[in-house]
Amino acid sequence: MTTYVVTGAAGFIGSNIIQGLNARGITDIIAVDDLTEGDKFRNLADLQISDYVDADDFYDRFSNGAYGKVEAVFHEGACSDTMESDGAYMMRNNFGLSCQLFEACQAQGTRLLYASSAAVYGGSDTFKELPQYEKPLNVYGYSKLLFDQWVRRQTTMFTTQKTQVTGFRYFNVYGPREQHKGRMASVAFHQFNQFKADGVVKLFGGYDGYAAGEQKRDFVYVSDVVAVNLWFLDHPDASGVFNLGTGRAQPFNDVALAVVQGMTEQQASLAQIVENEAIHYVDFPDALKGKYQSYTQADLSALRSVGCDHAFADVAKGVTSYLKHLST
């Protein structure tokens, strides 16, 4: 059997990737994570894996060839808290371990498909995979950028590419299996719970030249993220760093509108919903000023150039699907 590894396996995207592999009949999967936060086990309970390895043990063991021939590693494990201020921890966890994993994969002929982040663009208004547009606003974004830069340097040193290395700059991912993420869960998840509890959705008011609720992000449904990861699994000659978003910026108001419409089963307009006070705008928090991306939109030209023509769901379609999951 062909063996695969998924790090961050009990996390949001990692567990969805395992689900995607299972749907293909692939079950020889080594799941790697840290279950100190024990409730994350729920993301693995309905999935088929062949082994579980604690993250503290995995990287050294893998470097020493403990798991035999591994076809590919989906490296989703990282600290993704954009408000984390411990830079030393962030760099050890997101950069150091990733470098170690890269070197081990190259030595063993294992393909590496890893999670980067749109946070590398930070203060930029252009979201294209080129150094001049990479301006992280926090140490999380820098830790992701540094690994992308390191991979670029390492791969250009090879006379021929040894084995596939692909990084995905995830934009604002939402969907099932994110319930453990707390404040870092998606806008759609928080809005669903707000409306369920109080009959109101809270959004930021005007900021950075945008009207209330009109700050725009590239919101991408997690099933689309999985589909693109699996496309690259099917195309081992495709390497590089790629944006993974829809290529479509939509305002937070669009997400709120889809949530309220879906939960009330009424097609009220945004203006009507605001008038009925089902959407409430709050002052933009001082703690986020200067650290917040008011606009993101993935440039998909690099992704399309390698032949990945996956069609992404817009907010209305993706949120509607997600609400069905949350309501069951």
Q: Which residues are catalytic?
A: 140, 181
Positive or negative, the CA dihedral 113, 73, 18, 181 is negative
Task: Point out which residues pair with 174 in neighbouring strands.
Answer: 221
The Cα–Cα gap between 113 and 225 comes to 12
With both helix axes pointing from N to C terminus, report the angle between 55-63 and 97-108 in degrees, rounded to the nearest 10. Answer: 40
For the chain, give the number of residues.
328
Segment 32-35 long-range contacts (CB within 8 Å, at least 24 positions apart):
32/5, 32/6, 32/7, 32/8, 32/58, 32/77, 33/7, 33/8, 33/9, 33/77, 35/10
Query: How do the residues of the chain divide into helix, strand and coil, expressed in percent and rounded to 5?
Result: 45, 15, 40
Q: How many CB atoms lie within 10 A of CB 282?
A: 10
Residue of 229, 246, 271, 257 whose CA lies nearest to 316 = 257
The DSSP bridge pattern shows strands 111-117 and 165-170 to be parallel
Output DSSP code: residue 251: E
